Amino acid sequence: MLNNKHIDLSEPRVMTIVNVTPDSFYDGSRTFTEEEIERRVAQAIAEGADMLDVGGYSSRQNADEVSVEEECARVCRAMKVIRRVCPEVAVSIDTFRAEVVQRVVANWGDCIVNDIAAGEADSQMIPTVARLGLPYIAMHMRGTPATMQSMTDYSDVVEEVHNYFVRKLDELHSAGITDVVIDPGFGFAKTLEQNYALMDGLHRLNDLGAPILVGISRKSMIYKLLDCAPAEALNGTTALHLEALRQGAKILRVHDTREAVEVIKIYNQLNKSKQEQ
C-alpha cells in the first residue's frame, strides 16, 4: 500500500530510475537540474512507468561520498518536480539513510523505501520504516559499495541469497513492516558468473512469498560480458529482463522505460497463449 492505494503486482511492473546524481555509472540516467528531471519524469510516465525510483547518492563502486544534507537536497529537488508533473505516481526513494526517508515523508508524503543495505547501514532505518508504515525494498549486499567486490565467496550464491532473505523477512515482519519487496542485488558483492547463476536460479526465491525486484539495467554483468559500454547495453538488458520475468520477477527497475514496458507486454502475451492452449 502507498498513500492508501494498492500497487497491483499481479502482473509485472516497471520502476524507472531517476538519478539526481552527477556520477551514476550510466551517464544517460543522470538528471541534475529541475529541467532535466522534468524531461526524464515526463518521458517515463508517457512511456508507461508504474513507479519512479529517485536516488541522490550513487551506489557504484568508488562513487563520491555524499552528505545527508546534499542527498536530501537532491532527492527533494526531484520530488518537487515529480509532485508537480505527476502527483499521483508512486515514488520510491533509493537511500540507506533513515534521516533522508524522514525528511522526504515530512515534506512530500509517503513513499516506498528502496534500501540497498536492507537496514544494515543505518540502525534507525527499519524502525523508521515500520513507524511510518512504508513499503520497503530490501536488497542483498555484502559489505558496502566500496568493499563489496572483495566479498564474493559463496558456495551457492542462490542458496545464500535465499537464506539471507529468510532471516531478513523475519526481521522486517517482526519489526512491523508488512509490505516488503526483495531485491537479490545483481552486481552487488557478486562476480559476473555469480550474477548469471543468480539469474538462472532466481525462481528459487519465489517460495519466500515476497515480490521480487530485479535491477540489472545496463549493469556490468551485461556490458562486460558483451564487451561494450553501458550506453550500448540496452539489447542485453532487454534479453535479461525477459528471463527475469520468466523466473518470477514482479518489478523491473530500469533506465529505459519503453523497452521494459514492451518486454512485459510480450511476456504477458506468452503467458496468455500458454493458458489458452
Report DSSP letters for 144-171, one per residue. -TTTGGG----SSHHHHHHHHHHHHHHH
pLDDT, one tens digit per residue, over 240-253 is 999 999 999 999 99
Q: Which residues participate in catalysis according to the annotation? A: 219, 253
State the Cα–Cα distance between residues 156 and 216, nearest whole angstrom: 20
Q: Class of the 13-276 domain?
A: alpha beta
- Is the pLDDT at 2 greater than 70? The verdict is no
Residue 23: CB atoms within 10 Å: 14
Indicate the pTM of the whole model: 0.93
Cell match 535491477: residue?
215
pLDDT, one tens digit per residue, over 143-176 is 777 777 777 899 999 999 999 999 999 999 999 9
Cell match 508504515: residue?
133
At 92, is the secondary structure helix, strand, or coil?
Answer: strand
- Is the pLDDT at 68 greater than 80? The verdict is yes
| C-beta of residue 89 within 8 angstroms of C-beta of residue 61 | no
- Is the pLDDT at 83 greater than 90? The verdict is yes
